[in-house]
Structure 1
Amino acid sequence: MKHLIRLIISLSIVISFSVSAAELPDFKSLVKEASPAVVNISTVQKSQSSNPLHPFIGPNGEEIPEMFRHFFRIPDSRKDQRPRRKTPQSLGSGFIISSDGYLLTNHHVISGADKVIVRLADRRELEAEVVGSDERSDVALLKIEADDLPTVELGESKELEVGEWVLAIGSPFGFDHSVTAGIVSAKERALANETYVPFIQTDVAINPGNSGGPLFNLNGEVVGINSQIYTRSGGFMGLSFAIPIDVAMDVADQLKEDGFVTRGWLGVIIQEVNRDLAESFGLEKPAGALIAKVLPSSPAEDAGLQEGDVILKFEGSEVNLSSDLPHFVGRVKPGETARVEIVRSGKKKIIGVEIGLLPNQDEIALAQQQPVPGSDNPLNLDVAELDPERKKQWQVTSGVIVKSVKQGPGADAGLMAGDVITMLNGEKVTSVRSFNAISASLQGGKAVPMRIVRRGSPMFIPVKIPE
């Protein structure tokens, strides 16, 4: 009897392992069919500067080691400061999308290159022409002179589901046609300084050299371009990010046809809605994109959007995080009208906005403010009139400047000397007198929104008067 029980248990374990093995995907056929269309990309570049590498610096001045770095090798100029010869350096990967020689890779792989060399699966090396490159999406379109080339099959990244198996082929550390697999961890991720790409997050092992290579689904279709990793060590940590192929092909088509990429533009500066701001604006939950500033002569201004509006939906898509909005706006062609659902003064409203063309971003030089005479108010702030010179410097039409912050509601809200208060509880602040009148009318125990401009950056903060 005991022998029979042991036999049954053994058979159960074998069957269990067999079922588990049967559920795992078989990538052999996929790799055989797709690998020939994956290429290695090298570049010939001018010698780098002999200055030491600058560290990655965070918003508060702290050094951030190797966070969200693109996958290319940067020579350490501290080791050798002699002039360097122009020699090919293996930088990344790419894949062929048409049999006549068009292929995709990352912008950062070929940026600044004097010459781009593509090594095919059959070991041929061909010089590539850069048809176009788009820094905002990190996509580059190349062309090599060859015929009857193997190509990848393109899929639809919007059909991807979280938990789905995916596979990457590339040249990590120069090892051609290395294959790694994993699953989709999340979709439409927004990364720092990458506002126009809704990244696919995976746990596929990606390392330097994989950049620009394809991400496949189990049908053998390319669903993304491997672009970035999150790492503290410089290697794989289970957080990899790929550009959706739908986005990449839209960029590639524009680069091929026009040589440049156009994107929609709304013309607002936005910020996240946290719990306190949601309460101050009367929202059910902290969601949406809060308009901190409407840029002059922008589509938003023409449509009547106002500072303090919270955008909840754009063309029917919910804006859960403020970082969602640039993705949605960028996909709309300039000249088209988009439906924008907002909350204004506690009431929902739909506004039609004719989307404009995204302009080049110019940095605005801002001067340091000097304190001016102050006055008292219920928020326990020392404020003063905003003179014409400061209005011009900070590009504001009205408001008061904070000279000093005493212990009280203003200090609790995080106000600082030098902040310019332009709006309080939905009302514009035009002078010290108007600010005092508005603040005196605030009800105790309730958070209200205050719009400020701090070192040129507009933002809303919640202010709560004690009961």
Structure 2
Amino acid sequence: MPVSLPSLSRALVAALLLVTPAQATQTHSADAPMLETAMASVFTVHSADAEDRFLGSAFLWGDGAVAVSNAHVVGQAGEVRLTDAAGHQQIGQIIASDASRDVAVIAVKPGQGGLVPAATPPQLGAEVWALGAPLDIEFTVTAGRISALDRQTDPATPIRMIQHDAALNPGSSGGPLIDSTGALVGMNAQIADGSRMFVGIAYAIPATDLSRIVQGLIDETLQPIPKLGLTARPVSRQLAETLNIAATGLLVDAVTPASLAERAGLHPGDVILAVNAAPLTTPGDLAFALESSQSQNRFDLTILRAGSVLILMADLAAADSPLTLRDLASPQRRTEYTLQDLGLTLTDTEITAITPNSPALAAGLTATEILLQIDGQPAASHLSQSFTRPILLLIQGTTGTRHVLIDPWATTKTLHPVGGANVLDRDVVVF
């Protein structure tokens, strides 16, 4: 017999009234000890200098001899300040970092053990918790479920991420993703969409990949991901129809001079069909094929050029691969700068343009604002001056005046959107 909506609603209300508060919170309270134990392995990460800039999250790994975080969290720092949930602080040395795979290893003081990878692979729909410091809100836990497995968010990186819907925001990067037993499922690394804030889709590097990457960085056996030096796009149905070819492979847009791709003989307009005779069914297949070819130091590319199928050989041994481990030599630091070096284009004291990815943009300056003062002095008389330390600007904007402190030596370490922290444009991939 069909049940009417009013009858069904009354039945649901009656059922809900029978649930006591204790029953409603039983599951959540049972998780508290597990979460507290896991949180004891989590750190907030700050710069190890007087500025004490918040960078992100990290956590103890395995036996607790090292901590791990994202490479984009620690950036180019040689050391960071780690703070645990009990308030204990220490300076951690960055002993290895892999920017391509976005993993960094940090040496810590001996002490308690860390998080251990789960014994079984994660399952679709499983409940997970993300631990970290989103938006610098220390030691936060958010809950969610695994919404997809094996997401390759960057076609140039041979890692298939875990997709989940536990809320992540800037600052969550480097924090652990754990399961209902407190075991490590992965390390939170990315949010989807072009915005900085959580939109319901987050990504974590799987614990199985972390185990391989972290141990390889510690042992100095992990090889860098080969850089081909080309940009390419998937051969879509529309492209295939235009070129009168099959809708498969990668169409080469550009080849960098003196790169591995150029030495192998690739040209713009070539279509890469296969690597070592394995067809490229998705753009990301190329990255996995390159990684698996590293032990042989060479690979074969099957390409389509002007209607003919050719095979090219690429020699990885001759590639100029970047170092995996940190170069401990101190780089030369620029000692002075001008307003133009900050990314400002000025007409008298009015800001008429801001250079993308510049210190001025990172500080929040916008076009049409007016410079009133520089370090407390009238701006008009200091526009061509060179500066050797951070400067304080008094700005006239549409909503009034405000002071802006710009430290050009700190802007690469501040919290800002990272290109690799969001899903890349699927049309063009840089290999």
TM bin, normalised by shorter chain, reads 0.5 to 0.7
Is the aligned partner of 1:87 residue 2:88?
A: no
For 1:138, the equivalent position in structure 2 comes to 102
Tell me, which stretches of 5 or more residues in structure 2 are unaligned?
A: 1-5, 323-427
Preserved CA contact (<8 Å) 1:167 1:179: yes
TM value normalised by structure 1: 0.53
Q: 1:109 deviation in Å?
A: 2.0
* Distance in 2, Cα, partners of 1:191 & 1:171: 23
Query: Structure 1 residue aligned with 2:177, among 215, 240, 245?
Result: 215
Deviation of the 1:234 alpha carbon:
4.0
1:118 alignment partner in structure 2: 82
Cα distance change, pair 194–203 in 1 and its aligned pair in 2 (3 A): farther
Per the alignment, in what secondary structure is the counterpart of residue 92 of structure 2?
strand
Quick one: distance in 1 between partners of 2:10 and 2:220? 67
Change in Cα spacing, 1:100 to 1:239, as seen in structure 2 (3 Å) is closer
Structure 2 letter corresponding to 1:319: L
Of stretches 137-146 and 346-355 in structure 1, the one that deviates more from structure 2 is 346-355
| Shift in alpha-carbon separation, 1:10–1:270, aligned structure 2, 3 A | closer
Contact 1:223 1:244 in 2 (8 A): yes
SS of 2:286's partner is helix
- In the alignment, the residues of structure 2 paired with residue 203 and residue 124 of structure 1 have an alpha-carbon distance, to the nearest angstrom, of 31
Distance 1:232 1:8 in 2: 40
Q: Secondary structure at the match of 2:212?
A: helix
Pair 1:165 & 2:138 matched:
no
What amino acid does structure 2 have at the position aligned with 1:290? L
Does the CA-based 8 Å contact 1:264-1:334 persist in structure 2? no
d(CA) in 1 for partners of 2:8 and 2:221?
69
Q: Helix, strand or coil for the counterpart of 1:238? A: coil
Cα shift readout 1:318-366 (whole Å, capped 9, x = no counterpart)? 63442442244235424256576666777989888665575358xxxxx
Question: What is the letter of the counterpart of residue 15 of structure 2?
Answer: V
Matched, 1:151 2:155: no
Structure 1 residues 36 and 16: alpha-carbon distance in aligned structure 2, compared to 1, 3 A threshold: same
Aligned mates of 2:288, 2:134 — CA distance in 1: 29
Structure showing greater relative contact order (alpha-carbon pairs closer than 8 Å, 6 or more residues apart): 2
1:44 and 2:7 matched: no
One-letter amino acid matched to 1:253: Q
Name which of 252, 257, 262 aligns with 2:224: 262
CA distance in 1, matches of 2:318, 2:180: 38
Which structure: larger Rg?
A: 1
One-letter identity of the residue aligned with 1:43 = S
Greater shift in the superposed pair: 196-205 or 163-172: 196-205
Within the alignment, does 1:271 sit opposite 2:233 as a pair?
yes
In 2, Cα distance between equivalents of 1:113 and 1:139: 14
- C-alpha deviations, 1:212-264, integer Å up to 9, x for none? 10112344332322123246664322232323333333332232122874234
- After superposition, the CA RMSD in angstroms is 4.5
Give the 5 Å matches for 1:308-327.
310-312=271-273, 314=275, 319-327=280-288
187 and 288 in structure 1: CA distance in 2 versus 1, 3 angstrom threshold? farther
Aligned residue number for residue 138 of structure 2? 176
**How big is the shift at 1:190?**
5.0
The yes-or-no answer on 1:104 pairing with 2:68 is: yes
For the Cα contact (< 8 Å) 1:271–1:290, is it kept in 2? yes
Report the Cα distance in structure 1 between the residues aligned to 2:249 and 2:17, rounded to whole angstroms: 47
Q: What displacement does 1:9 show? A: 6.4
| In structure 2, distance between residues paired with 1:226 and 1:237 | 15
Q: Is the 8 A contact 2:298 2:316 kept in 1?
A: yes
Cα distance in 2 for partners of 1:14, 1:357 equals 70
Q: Secondary structure of 2:215's match?
A: helix
The Cα of 1:156 is off from its aligned counterpart by 7.9
Q: 1:337 to 1:7 in 2, by over 3 A?
A: closer
Distance in 1 between residues matched to 2:291 and 2:119, nearest whole Å: 19
Q: Separation in 1 of the partners of 2:147 and 2:308? A: 36
2:167 aligned residue: 205
Question: Aligned residue for 1:14?
Answer: 15
* % identical aligned pairs: 28
Distance in 2 of aligned mates of 1:29 and 1:346:
64
Give the superposition deviation at 1:99. Answer: 2.7
Structure 1: unaligned runs, 5 residues or longer: 46-85, 362-458, 460-467
Query: Which amino acid is the alignment partner of residue 283 of structure 2?
Result: S
Please give the alpha-carbon distance, in whole angstroms, between the structure 1 residues aligned to 2:34 and 2:40: 11
Closer, same or farther in 2 for the Cα pair 1:130/1:300, shift >3 Å?
A: closer
SS of the counterpart of 1:153? coil
CA distance in 2, matches of 1:239, 1:305: 37
**Match of 1:205, SS?**
coil
Query: 1:35 and 2:39 equivalent?
Result: yes
Alignment CA distance shift 1:308-1:209 (3 Å): closer
- Structure 1 CA distance for aligned equivalents of residues 313 and 126 of structure 2: 37
Alpha-carbon distance between aligned partners in 2 of 1:295 and 1:334, rounded to the nearest angstrom: 24
The answer to whether 1:224 aligns with 2:186 is yes
How many Å separate the matches in 1 of 2:272 and 2:14?
55
Alpha-carbon distance change, 7 to 237 in structure 1, aligned in 2, over 3 angstroms: closer
Asked if the contact 2:100–2:225 (Cα under 8 Å) also holds between the matched residues in 1, the reply is no
User: Cα–Cα, structure 1 residues 234 and 282, in superposed 2: closer, same or farther, change >3 Å?
Assistant: closer
Taking the aligned partners of 2:62 and 2:154, their CA distance within structure 1 comes to 32
Kindly tell me the number of residue pairs found equivalent between the two proteins.
313
Contact 1:266–1:355 under 8 Å retained in 2? no
User: Does residue 330 in structure 1 map to residue 275 in structure 2?
Assistant: no
Aligned to 2:391: none
DSSP-derived class of the 2:296 partner: coil
Return the letter of the residue paired with 1:132: A
Contact 2:177–2:184 under 8 Å retained in 1: yes
Which whole-Å deviations, capped at 9, do the CAs of 1:100-151 have from their partners, x for residues lacking one? 421101122222436412223333211111111222222110011223x131
Secondary structure of residue in 2 paired with 1:142: strand
Q: How many angstroms apart in 1 are the aligned matches of 2:14 and 2:317?
A: 63
Look up the equivalent residue of 1:271 and give its one-letter code. Answer: R
CA distance in 2, matches of 1:214, 1:196: 20
